[in-house]
Amino acid sequence: MKKEILKKIYAHTEEETEILQGRTVIDRRLYTDDAAFVIDLDKFLLPGQLISVRKHTRFIDFPLHTHNYVELLYVYHGSMTQVIAGREITMKEGELMVLDQAISHEIKAAGEEDIVINFIIRPEFFRYLFSLAEMEDNAIFRFIMNAMYTGGARGEYLYYKVSGQGAVKTDMDKIITELYQPDIASGISLQFLVGLLLIKLIRHSENIEVYSADNYEKKLSVEVLKYIAAHYKDGSLAAVSRQLNQPDYRISRIVKKYTGHTFLQLVQQSRLNQAAELLRHTDLTIAEIMQQVGYENITFFYKLFKEKYQQTPRAYRQNRIK
């Protein structure tokens, strides 16, 4: 990170200066016009603007509040402690959390060296993600869309324990650079960079910890999706049931309830998605790709692939090369 940007990140904002000069409570007028402490996206986003990025205010406790937008928190440096549903969570440097619109939380005062970047995201922004990549077949992506975009949000968060992952930090450095060195294209650039970051996080679902305020089954369903993402080649319903200490019939019911698909269908989707990825981005033979994703019967593989993509694996590869 450039020195001039680091200097801006650590500099005191006007609000922080007031706090250091003696203000002891949050000035709610900066965040909402509502008597209840529901932080309003209109305080941060212009009409039509989908996303805004700002530094979290340090040196003061944020009392219990909700917000009418999806919030993403990233700990750039230091740590951040918050309380969600009575549970105290301390996020470490490099970690992220996505909170839905119904979550209530309070945030403990951050210190001088605690730098947290706050993303204010309209729910409509997630439509934008559909235009960035072919993510409709990713089961965790569909789950997040349901939790974060539909009206069914009931107080959930997704905690990404990705501290130490260089790719995430690189993406965040680019976002922060756009924030502190803006130009005429920064608005569009921020949308693009944040969209790519979220897609990367979705694709690396093994790092997700999910919390639902009222639904233990939903948490189990995400654990199953994480298992499939990591073990699509040779995973089984029996194995994930043992891992989660649940009977396989319950896992089957929960998966079907929250994804609309059976366990086997989700495994097949993951295998075919990975096969398509390898066809697009590697020179592996089709036989090698089959083995890598868990298929042995070439006729069966071709049948499933053609059902999903309306063309053979060979044609799919050739069409992507053109």
Q: In whole angstroms, how large is the CA radius of gyration of the chain?
A: 22
What percent of the chain stands above pLDDT 90?
47
Q: Decide: 159 and 140 in contact? Cβ < 8 Å.
A: no
- Angstrom CA distances, 48 to 31, 42, 187, 301, stand at 19, 10, 11, 45
Last residue of a domain, one of 180, 211, 242: 211
The Cα–Cα gap between 192 and 195 comes to 5
Please state the domain count of the chain.
Answer: 2
The continuous run of DSSP H or E covering 117 comes out as strand 115-121
Helices (H), the chain: 3-10, 14-20, 125-130, 139-148, 166-180, 186-203, 216-231, 237-244, 248-259, 263-281, 286-293, 298-309, 313-321
Q: Which amino acid is at 74?
A: Y
Q: Give tens-digit pLDDT for 193-203.
A: 888 888 777 76
112 shares its domain with 178: yes
What does the alpha-carbon distance between residue 197 and residue 212 come to, in Å, rounded to a whole number? 23
Rounded Cα gap, residues 153 and 212, in angstroms: 9
- Domain boundary (211, 227, 258) is at 211
The mean pLDDT value for 104-118 works out to 95
The pTM (predicted TM-score) of the whole model is: 0.69
Say whether pLDDT at 69 is over 50: yes
153 and 68 in a common domain: yes
- Tell me the backbone φ, ψ of residue 184, rounded to 5 degrees: -65, -25
Same domain? 47 vs 92:
yes
CA distance 136 to 74: 26
In this structure, the answer to whether residues 77 and 188 fall within a common structural domain is: yes
Task: Look up residue 177 and give its DSSP letter.
Answer: H
CATH code of the domain covering residue 102: 2.60.120.280
Q: Sign of the C-alpha dihedral, residues 237, 201, 316, 306?
A: positive
Question: Quick one: 189 and 234 in the same domain?
Answer: no
CB 20 within 8 Å of CB 84? no
- Hey, how many other C-beta atoms are within 10 angstroms of the C-beta on 43? 13
pLDDT at 75 over 50: yes
Of the two residues 156 and 45, the one the predictor is more confident about is 45
CA distance 160 to 295: 31
User: Do 37 and 146 belong to one domain?
Assistant: yes
Lowest mean pLDDT among 66-70, 207-211, 258-262: 207-211
The residue among 35 and 43 whose pLDDT is bigger is: 43
Judged against a pLDDT cut of 60, whether residue 154 lies above it is answered with no
- Residue 7 structural domain: 3-211
Label residue 249 exposed, middle or buried (CB < 10 Å: 0-12, 13-18, 19+).
exposed
Which of 73-77, 140-144, 283-287, 307-311 is predicted with the least confidence, judged by mean pLDDT? 140-144
Determine the residue type at 205: S
What per-residue confidence (pLDDT) applies to 113?
A: 96
Give the pLDDT mean for 96-117. 91
Residue at a domain's end among 211, 231, 264: 211
**Three-class secondary structure of residue 190 per DSSP:** helix
Q: Which amino acid is at 123?
A: P
Q: How far apart are CA 243 and CA 67, in angstroms?
A: 36
Residue 103's pLDDT band (cuts 50, 70, 90) = confident
Residue-wise pLDDT for 210-252, tens only, equals: 776 556 777 788 889 889 988 999 999 999 999 998 999 889 9
| 183 lies in the same domain as 263 | no
CA triple 170-171-172, angle to 5 deg: 90
Please say if the pLDDT value at position 153 is more than 80: no
Contact between residue 156 and residue 77 where contact means Cβ atoms under 8 Å apart: no
Least confident span in 2-6, 175-179, 205-209, 284-288: 205-209
- Across 54-62, average pLDDT: 95
Q: What distance, in Å, lies between the first and last C-alpha atoms of the chain?
A: 38
Is the pLDDT at 137 greater than 60? The verdict is no
**Which uninterrupted H or E stretch holds 87?**
strand 87-92
Least confident segment among 4-18, 30-44, 138-152, 304-318: 138-152
